[in-house]
Amino acid sequence: MPDTYFLNFRGPGGAVCDPYLLKGDGAPPPPATAPAVSVVQWSEVPALVGGKTILFYTHGFNVSYQGGAESLELVARYLDLAAPYLFIGMLWPGDGGVPFVDYPWEGGPAMDSGRRLATFCNTWCAAAQSLSFASHSLGARMVLQAVAGLAAPRRASVLCLMAGAINRDCLVTEYASAAAKSERIAVLASHEDAVLKLAFPPGDAVADQIYHDHTLQAALGYDGPPPPAAGVTAPWQIADREDFGHLDYMPPNNNNKWQWAVDFVRRNFYGQPLIWPAP
């Protein structure tokens, strides 16, 4: 298996830092306790991304550095993209001291990471063939912020938001500019997502008092976009009978449902018709 690439936004003490590339194995076998990665020198980056069809993929909140690297490594192995496709997993500091209770404050690091991702793309990815973005949970804020900050004429080829912990109307309100810069938008939502059903509404109400940047709505990853959902490719609502929870979109977990989600991203990335679950 070739090296997996990661863009690391995690600075000292849980702060957001300007990202830098890592390569290696994000899920080393025991007894190792940290990803076996090394820093990619900036002089190597132009050749790495030039002419590539890049997929930036990120986790949500309440995910540690090690947990994020392990999860994204498994996604990269499952996708097994060959050149000219390039997978880059993104590690950002969305893990507060008290899981879920800290959620309202983690929108800031997500958006800060997104602004820095836009700068990285504008500075280093001008020679890339295309840029696509996939996210889980609060990672939606990160990628939407990044796409909104892409310098013209660059657009996102694909924007895929899974279990988005963000207001369902965000694509026509707060992040309408990101939607306008995206050629293909896909969403996955589930009414069996207990986190977005029970924890998102009160947490989002607190977040609105902090950032004053959005209206109070159900989560995009719960109800999907409001009608007429212009610009969003159907289908997006996962059937209740599949009991698809918030943690089922990303590995590792106790089932293989995450592979359905990754297959959904793959079909978007390759421009194929969307089917759920993907065959």
Question: What band does 143 get if pLDDT is binned at 50, 70 and 90?
Answer: very high
Cα(71)–Cα(26) distance, rounded to whole angstroms?
8
Cβ-contact 138, 100 below 8 angstroms = no
Position 103 pLDDT exceeds 90: no
User: What would the mean pLDDT of 142-146 be, rounded to a whole number?
Assistant: 98
Confidence of residue 13 (pLDDT cuts 50, 70, 90): confident
Give residue 106's pLDDT. 53
Q: Give, as one character, the DSSP assignment of residue 199.
A: I
Average pLDDT over residues 63-80: 96
pTM, rounded to two decimals: 0.92
The whole-number pLDDT of residue 203 equals 44
What pairs with residue 133 in β-bridges? 56, 159
- Residue 238: beta bridge partners? 190
Q: Give the C-alpha distances (Å, rounded to integers) separating 101 from 43, 63, 106, 154.
A: 41, 14, 10, 37
Mean per-residue pLDDT, 244-272 = 94
Cα–Cα distance, 171 to 140 (Å, whole number): 11
pLDDT at 101 over 70: no
Per-residue pLDDT at 78 exceeds 80 = yes
Above 90 in pLDDT, residue 177? yes
The mean predicted confidence, pLDDT, of the chain is: 89
Q: Judge whether 44 and 5 are in contact, CB under 8 Å.
A: no
Structural domains in the chain, CATH included, are 4-269 (3.40.50.1820)
Gyration radius (Cα) of the chain, Å: 17
